[in-house]
Amino acid sequence: MSDPMEQFKVIFFDECTDLLTSLEEGLMQLQAGDCDEEVVHSVFRAVHSIKGGAGAFGFDRLVAFAHIQETLLDDIRSGALEMDPAYMTVLLQAYDILSELVGAAQRGEEVADELGDDVAKAMKAILDQTGVPLAEKSTAATPKEPDTDVDTGSVEKNTRIFKISFKPYEELFQRANEPILLIKELGTLGDLTVKLNVSDVPDIEEMEAEHAYFSWEFRLITEYDEAAIREVFEFVEDDCDLLITDHGVYLSPEAFVEDAQAGLFEDIEDEPDALKPQKTAKAVKPGEAVVSQSIRVELDKVDTLVNMVGELVITQAMLREQGGELLVEQYPNLVQGIEDLSRHIRDLQDCVMAIRAQPVKSVFSRMPRLVRELTATLGKKARLVMSGEETEVDKTVTERIGDPLMHMIRNSVDHGLEMPDVRAKAGKNEEGIINLSAFHRGGRIFIEIEDDGAGINKAVVLEKAIANGLVSPDANLSDEEINNLIFMPGFSTAKSVTNVSGRGVGMDVVRKNIQSLGGRISIRSEEGKGSRFTMSLPLTLAVMDGMVVDIGSEKYVLPLVNIIQTLRPGKEDVNSLPDGRNVMMFRGEYILLVPLYDLYDIDDAIQNPCEGLVVVVEGDGGVLMGFIVDDLVNQQQVVIKSLESNYALVEGVSGATILGNGRVSLIVDISTIQDMSANQLREFQSASPETRKISPQAQISAEIH
């Protein structure tokens, strides 16, 4: 039997993801020295909200740990404990444990009994400094049952009296909310008196089992402010009418007793002067002052919408191709309608893709802590400076760039930045700077990691690559090619294996992961001054602007963002190298001509670039290449379909799409083609002279000249 609460648990865990992100960001701000009151409050609220939701679903282990964490944060925000940098290690460890407990609860897994015990003890040790036992602290105390007795002895000068009206909407229970839990939590804030209103309860024949009919009025005497009261109702703020009236500061025991005897729930106008309202809250729903402009939608539903729009784009492309064959004079309205449809669908697609977009802040927020832990481990000093965190990109992309980004930051700290004494001798500040930035350019997102460290020692890199057999001893490599050696599998310049580096894995994984996203990575480095790694990624993995080209009888799609120029070279512009490759003069420099017909094994393609066309594209590291094609067909937006998930991984192909004529066309993977071309060169160099003589590239060169 399925769990009837499952749909509400999904919502709870989605909210936990956001709350944990907010918690980590707040802790990073505190760690950086930003002890602003609002930052402390946001950190406390995140833990408080997770604890409250966990209690509703009976995740007792999670609630117990969050209680201690919440209590510590509450003491810090109330001033009972002064924020000490030494607390940060414990608070960050507590965040890790809380994340593990949330994850285990989400997966339905049991956790080890001792998980988090050491962190809990460390938090209790800090709390003991206040001299108040943990069990007596307000946030950790067991919630008490609502009580109609009034204890005037507990009222102090800073006590305020609040009147609270709570009327749930009928669908409250359907969202896994339980009023009795709210009332118990409200009771932990002070002396609570409860009045139940049953006037909305219908006849039993008309009752719906899942509807909420009761409403309540409360009188709360408390030392907390209105914000603390609203936090109790945080999870139901959109499912109820809530009115909180502040009756001001308590003035005298006599007035308080008189009011209690007269009836706590009489109209305000009939109350003694001592309890006349000094401040009355506006009778609005919570959140009306700051209206929420967002809704939570399951990602699967958004993916379905994206796929449907993708199919619509394909259908529109078919209609447009068919409409192109119509005479405008005969069917002017139809042709115009197809053009309007094309424009509207493009706008629709942009809007739908914007729904999936989210700031890279969710990924960037993990990096400050990584730098902090690495510098502590390595004995280095470093400061991470971030910019462009609000730059938006497709959610799928943000989910998959986290690991590559962590590898690159780790590489900058471990291999890029020098030890403090070495930096001082070089005239640098002992504290290294790592800049992490994101920005949009040309329909793509660029993420840059730049450090002011030692840069790449090209002599050491080349020597290590030769020793590992990654390049031949007589290889004549450019500075850029040497830099890119660090992305080769098994390459590492570390002298020993540590828990940070030295195993020869990391940067090759970075490149593969980025390429799997349709992205590129390049390096610029200057010895003694630092390095800059630049990732270029598509804004979305669902659609792209492409150029459809003919290669023989086949049609392929080239990513438009990679295309620099298309031209038909003259014979004088094309030359053959001794290794059999052809190059073309382009803007004062020679670039390699890549015969796509050879890589894709197409027999009926034009092989002479002077008879066909050359599409100049930019590959990894800013390397320019010329793709030999028969002709250009058109430029259009295409819907990307994964070959790997629907068929199998095909080398040199990043995906497929459906053209306007209904035929499937493959999308050229620029980065992989660049590697394939390099592999062909290595095979050619190791081949016998007889084999070299019949190289297709050499034959083409002979035909040209």
Do the Cβ atoms of 470 and 488 come closer than 8 Å?
yes
Q: Which residues contact 26 (CB under 8 A, 6 or more apart)?
A: 39, 40, 42, 43, 46
Residues of the chain with pLDDT > 90, as a percent, come to 13
Nearest alpha-carbon partner for 362 in 106, 22, 40, 27:
22
Return the SS3 of 20: helix
pLDDT bucket at 686, cuts 50 / 70 / 90: low
* Alpha helices for 196-288 (secondary structure H): 226-232, 253-262
pLDDT bucket at 255, cuts 50 / 70 / 90: very low
Do the Cβ atoms of 378 and 420 come closer than 8 Å?
no
Q: Residue 614's pLDDT is what?
A: 93
Q: Residue 421's pLDDT is what?
A: 92
Q: Residue 356's pLDDT is what?
A: 78
What H or E segment, with its residue span, contains residue 245? strand 240-249
pLDDT at 631 over 70: yes
Residues of the chain with pLDDT > 70, as a percent, come to 80
pLDDT bucket at 694, cuts 50 / 70 / 90: very low
pLDDT at 151 over 80: no
CA distance 539 to 637: 14
Q: Residue 490's pLDDT is what?
A: 66
Q: Cβ-count burial of 38 within 10 angstroms (0-12 exposed, 13-18 middle, 19+ buried)?
A: exposed
pLDDT bucket at 549, cuts 50 / 70 / 90: very high
Q: Cβ-count burial of 161 within 10 angstroms (0-12 exposed, 13-18 middle, 19+ buried)?
A: buried
Total count of residues recorded for the chain: 705
pLDDT bucket at 270, cuts 50 / 70 / 90: very low
CA distance 557 to 634: 10
- Residues 52, 46, 303, CA angle at the centre, nearest 5°? 95
CA distance 392 to 135: 45
Across the range 82-111, mean pLDDT stands at: 87
- Confirm whether pTM is higher than 0.75: no
Tell me which DSSP letter residue 235 carries: G
Most confident of 117-126, 299-308, 465-474: 117-126
Across the range 192-220, mean pLDDT stands at: 86
Class assignment of domain 543-704?
Answer: mainly beta
Asked if the 360-538 domain carries CATH number 1.10.20.60, the reply is no
- The strand pair at 563-567 and 613-618 is best described as antiparallel
Q: Which residues contact 226 (CB under 8 A, 6 or more apart)?
A: 162, 244, 246, 281
Across the range 637-643, mean pLDDT stands at: 78
Most confident of 128-132, 206-210, 240-244, 316-320: 240-244
Q: Residue 573's pLDDT is what?
A: 87
Amino acid at 228: A
Q: At which residue do the structure tokens 């400061």 appear?
A: 383
| Higher-scoring residue by pLDDT: 326, 184 | 184
Do the Cβ atoms of 640 and 657 come closer than 8 Å?
yes
Q: What is the CA radius of gyration of the chain?
A: 33
Quick count: other Cβ atoms within 10 Å of Cβ 63? 19
What is 6-136's CATH number, 1.20.120.160, 3.50.50.60, 1.10.472.10, 3.20.20.140? 1.20.120.160
Q: For the ranges 119-123, 501-505, 570-574, which has the lowest average pLDDT? A: 501-505
Nearest alpha-carbon partner for 417 in 384, 371, 380:
380
Nearest alpha-carbon partner for 576 in 703, 693, 697:
697
Look over the chain and give the mean of its residue pLDDT values, rounded to a whole number.
77
pLDDT at 503 over 50: no
CA distance 393 to 579: 43
CA distance 225 to 222: 8
Do the Cβ atoms of 667 and 640 come closer than 8 Å?
yes
What is 152-275's CATH number, 3.40.50.1970, 3.40.50.620, 3.30.70.1110, 2.40.30.10? 3.30.70.1110
CA distance 104 to 598: 52
pLDDT bucket at 660, cuts 50 / 70 / 90: confident
Q: Residue 84's pLDDT is what?
A: 80
Q: What is the pLDDT of residues 320-352, one digit of tens each?
A: 777 777 777 788 888 888 888 888 888 887 788
Q: Residue 274's pLDDT is what?
A: 34
Amino acid at 375: T
Q: Residue 138's pLDDT is what?
A: 45
| Higher-scoring residue by pLDDT: 597, 171 | 597
pLDDT bucket at 2, cuts 50 / 70 / 90: low
Amino acid at 32: A
Q: Residue 501's pLDDT is what?
A: 52
pLDDT at 264 over 60: no
